[in-house]
Amino acid sequence: MSLRANTSLVSAVVRGVERRILNHFMDLLILVSLNGYGSQISGYDVIKYLQLKYHILPSSGTVYSCLYHMEREGLLRGEQNGRKRIYTLTQRGAEIAKAIINGKDRILNFVAMILWKNGSKTLLQPLPSTPFSSKESHAEP
């Protein structure tokens, strides 16, 4: 594989991982962004924010589904403002946002542990001590 093709593949894979992270942790992004700005946000604002900051365009269905779920969980309070529904953090939502921010080093360390390289092996491979690993998957070349 050429260097250019390899770089392109790495770029595509990394972009896919970024999209997965943003989609799966959209609730965390919404909580932290609302906590940081201390303001209100609409579904459209979330979409524009993610597009500007992370260069992805999530579907409106994904964003609104997340917002509705967060409202049902008591993390956000939604109020109709004309045609828009405007969301603000509840006290519980603010507490969880602060806990996420305070725990960010632990979260980052966890992600780093998953992706950390140890020589030529990565922790993405099952470790010998795990019950789902096999001797064949850890044989030295």
- The residues spanned by each domain of the chain are 3-102
Q: What is the pLDDT of residues 9-65, one digit of tens each?
A: 888 888 888 888 888 889 988 898 887 766 889 999 989 988 888 888 888 999 999
Residue 77's contacts (CB-CB under 8 Å, 6 or more residues apart) are: 71, 87, 88, 89, 90
The pLDDT value recorded for residue 43 is: 92
> Which pTM was predicted?
0.69
The pLDDT value recorded for residue 38 is: 66
DSSP strands (E only) in the chain: 41-42, 76-81, 84-89, 117-118, 121-122
The dihedral built from the CA positions of residue 81, 86, 89 and 90, taken in this order, carries a sign that is: positive
The pLDDT value recorded for residue 60 is: 92
Q: Is the pLDDT of residue 133 over 50?
A: no
Task: From residue 77, give the alpha-carbon distance in Å to each of 98, 118, 131.
Answer: 17, 45, 44
Q: What is the pLDDT of residues 79-118, one digit of tens each?
A: 999 999 999 999 999 999 999 989 989 988 888 888 876 5
Q: Is the pLDDT of residue 1 over 70?
A: no
Q: Is the pLDDT of residue 135 over 50?
A: no
Residue 19's contacts (CB-CB under 8 Å, 6 or more residues apart) are: 56
**Rounded distance, CA 111 to CA 118, Å?**
15
Report the topology of domain 3-102: Arc Repressor Mutant, subunit A (1.10.10)
